[in-house]
Structure 1
Amino acid sequence: MELLSVNIGKPRPNPWKRLAATGIDKRPVTGPVAVHVPTATGTGEVGLAGDRAHDVKHHGGPDQAVYAYAREDLDDWQATLGTHLANGGFGENLTTKDLDVNGALIGERWRVGPDVVLEVSAPRTPCATFQGWLGRAGWIAEFVRSARPGAYLRVLEPGEIRAGDRIEIVHRPAHDVTVALAFRALTGEPELLPRLPAADALPESTKDLVRRRTGAAADRIGGTGS
């Protein structure tokens, strides 16, 4: 398993969300990149030096410090979309090789290079910026149907990474909640939501969302006989 490229965002105007800028235009960089733990949400701070989130309400912070996507999935999308997708083309920080990103367990830990340890925290949720960036009508629904969202990661041990680094899975938790399953539960298959609490490493905001949705469902079921 290998890190093919480290991709840093080049700010550009964001007409799709009426924001001043977006960092979705991520491009491979050469040499080492420092990885650190973001200190807070809502500031745009992310885990890679030289990068940042511009939609600070929905992106960045410790639970979305780094975003990874598999080169194999990009290759499949190239065939579907009929267009070239460079590393970083989906706005990912890390483009990986021979690593099942969507099959990774929530809470799974990866060592990248000699120093950095990352923890899988949540699936990526598509937004209007992503659809506008690709210029494809109906892209959000198409992306949801595919259930190949890629993974957000926390930084547990900072350091430096670079293209060509080895990726090693150093911990797999004792549950079956994968990135793909969590994504399906949160986007279109609510019957899967009761399985998510097994994944303790989910962000607190996601846990709260699951509690609200499953609680509402229980209330509806409980009210049918009254």
Structure 2
Amino acid sequence: MTSGIVLSLNVGGSEPNPAKKDSGRTGIGKRPVDHPITVRRPGPKTTGLHSGVVGDFIGDTRHHGGDDQAVYAYAVEDYAWWSAELSRDLPPGLFGENLTTQGLDLYNAVLGEQWRVGDTVILETTFGRIPCSTFQHRMAEPRWIKRFADSNRTGAYLRILQEGEIHPGAPIEVIHRPTHGLTLAEAFDIYMHTPENLSRLLVAEALPPDLRTEIEKRLTPTPS
């Protein structure tokens, strides 16, 4: 199995969200920390603790957070790809990720693969990140939502299978990879761009239940 490290741990506090007209708050402005973070299952998306990282803020609790989006990871290798595309430096945490990884190929990560992070924490990939207006405002790049979605370099949302502490520089080991072979990039591309292949997503047991329900409804023929 492949391995990597946590290059940067990033945590965001509550800040005004200029992308929202209703004076909402956001935690997308995550900054690297030099101390361990505690991760624990946050519970349901709208009524639980929201982020899986203790001390991390999530403003849009309708679309972000909860057990199936408890932690967000983005690879420094994908940052390098974007840096070349945008001709600008992209520091860890800019995309709002909790874990900036190094050495893991997140583009080809399999949906439902499990990572051991450090000594105790076990995380499981659940889906890619769907970009939003807050992300668009933060990046200040033309047509950023479409460009990010078209790239399929979405990073990985993760659920917490085993709680604990993560230290900066902690090793990451892929300890399980499902045999279905459906990658995060392929799953995201199907969901966003090729709906005729949606049934392919249902092979992944790790698919979030609400997303599975949505897909099953989309696949159900409409009565004439």
In 2, distance between residues paired with 1:182 and 1:168? 22
Contact 1:121–1:154 at 8 Å: present in 2 too? yes
Percent of aligned positions with the same letter in both sequences?
47
Counterpart in the other structure of 1:13: 16
42-51 or 153-162: bigger deviation: 42-51
Aligned partner (choices 129, 134, 137) of residue 129 of structure 1: 134
CA offset at residue 169 of structure 1? Answer: 0.5
CA offset at residue 80 of structure 1? Answer: 1.1
SS for the counterpart of 2:159 is strand
The superposition leaves residues 15-48 of structure 1 with CA deviations (integer Å, 9 ceiling, x where unpaired) of 2133421111111101111111112220452111
Counterpart in the other structure of 2:144: 139
Counterpart in the other structure of 1:63: 68
Question: Are 2:197 and 1:188 equivalent residues in the alignment?
Answer: no
The superposition leaves residues 117-154 of structure 1 with CA deviations (integer Å, 9 ceiling, x where unpaired) of 00111111011111111011211111111111011000
Counterpart in the other structure of 1:119: 124
Aligned-CA RMSD value: 1.4
The superposition leaves residues 50-92 of structure 1 with CA deviations (integer Å, 9 ceiling, x where unpaired) of 1021101101110000000000101111111122111011111
11-20 or 83-92: bigger deviation: 11-20
Counterpart in the other structure of 1:76: 81
Counterpart in the other structure of 2:164: 159
Contact 2:116–2:123 at 8 Å: present in 1 too? yes
In 1, distance between residues paired with 2:207 and 2:146? 23
Aligned partner (choices 2, 26, 32) of residue 30 of structure 2: 26
Counterpart in the other structure of 1:2: 5
If the length of structure 1 is used for normalisation, what is the TM-score?
A: 0.93
Aligned partner (choices 204, 210, 213) of residue 209 of structure 2: 204
CA offset at residue 210 of structure 1? Answer: 0.9
In 2, distance between residues paired with 1:84 and 1:170? 32
SS for the counterpart of 1:51 is coil
Number of residue pairs matched? 219
Q: Which runs of 5+ in 2 are unaligned?
A: none
Contact 1:113–1:166 at 8 Å: present in 2 too? yes
SS for the counterpart of 1:201 is coil
Counterpart in the other structure of 1:106: 111
SS for the counterpart of 1:102 is helix
If the length of structure 2 is used for normalisation, what is the TM-score?
A: 0.93
Q: Which runs of 5+ in 1 are unaligned?
A: none
CA offset at residue 191 of structure 1? Answer: 2.4
Equivalent AA in structure 2 for residue 152 of structure 1: Y
SS for the counterpart of 1:118 is strand
The superposition leaves residues 144-175 of structure 1 with CA deviations (integer Å, 9 ceiling, x where unpaired) of 11111011000010110011110000111121
In 1, distance between residues paired with 2:143 and 2:206? 31
